[in-house]
Amino acid sequence: MTRVNKQAPLTFRFADDGVVPNHARWPMLVYPSAVTLPAADPAKVLEDLFGSNGWGDSWRNGIFGYVHYHSRIHEVLGIARGTAEIRFGGDKGKVLNVKAGDIAILPAGTGHQRLSSSADLLVVGAYPPFGTYDLCRSVEQHAEALRTIPKVRRPDKDPVYGRDGPLLSAWQED
């Protein structure tokens, strides 16, 4: 049985390190143990949950083993199976150990990198219905990212909790 566990998120803010800009205004949100997943096809549960809240273009895979970020779109990462050690925020960011049922919501510009993982790691990622996927990882992309990140508007729904989700208050629009 799938169960969504309503909770306040952990919030993390990361400084611009000269390569990874992170987001100047909005924190990364992490919902530990947000979803109790079934053994059979846990990724489908996350895809359906994110999709029901307007976050689509989902994918199933892992997380790249190099530091990268997206400057034109926000991203949600749901751990469907396994465990991983992920550094968020770039080389000077924070390392978190994540497990099945954990969900991280990254505002545009937030660096992320898989440092290690169990062999069975399966991640489901998805995006809000606006923005353009890009993959940034070099210092040469930094200046342009500083221009594009603030233009990515706040989603209408939290990918986990919908219109009542903590994302809407944590990511205040000016």
Which contiguous run of DSSP H or E holds residue 147? helix 142-148
- Residue 136 in any domain: the answer is yes
Judge contact between 109 and 69, C-beta under 8 A.
Answer: yes
- Residue 104 in any domain: the answer is yes
Which contiguous run of DSSP H or E holds residue 3? strand 3-4
As a whole number of angstroms, the distance between CA 174 and CA 172 comes to 7
Q: What are the tens digits of pLDDT across the range 112-156?
A: 999 999 999 999 999 999 999 999 999 999 999 999 999 999 999
Kind of pairing between the strands at 83-88 and 94-99: antiparallel
Q: What are the tens digits of pLDDT across the range 65-109?
A: 999 999 999 999 999 999 999 999 999 999 999 999 999 999 999
* Reported pTM: 0.96
- Residue 41 in any domain: the answer is yes
As a whole number of angstroms, the distance between CA 26 and CA 170 comes to 7
Q: pLDDT-based confidence at 3, cuts 50/70/90? A: confident
- Residue 168 in any domain: the answer is no
The number of helices, as runs of H, and strands, as runs of E, in the chain is 3, 11
Q: Which of 103, 127, 84 is nearest to 30 (CA)?
A: 103
Q: pLDDT-based confidence at 174, cuts 50/70/90? A: low
Q: Which of 112, 5, 96 is nearest to 49 (CA)?
A: 5
- Mean pLDDT of all residues in the chain? 95
Domain hosting residue 31, numbered range: 17-153
- Residue 6 in any domain: the answer is no
Judge contact between 34 and 5, C-beta under 8 A.
Answer: yes
- Residue 158 in any domain: the answer is no
- Per the structure, the count of domains in the chain is 1
Q: Which of 95, 71, 91 is nearest to 19 (CA)?
A: 91
pLDDT at 172 over 60: yes
As a whole number of angstroms, the distance between CA 93 and CA 27 comes to 13
pLDDT at 2 over 80: no
- Residue 174 in any domain: the answer is no
69's torsion region: left (phi>0), alpha (psi -120 to 50) or beta? beta
As a whole number of angstroms, the distance between CA 45 and CA 43 comes to 5
Question: Which CATH number is 106's domain given?
Answer: 2.60.120.10
As a whole number of angstroms, the distance between CA 117 and CA 84 comes to 4
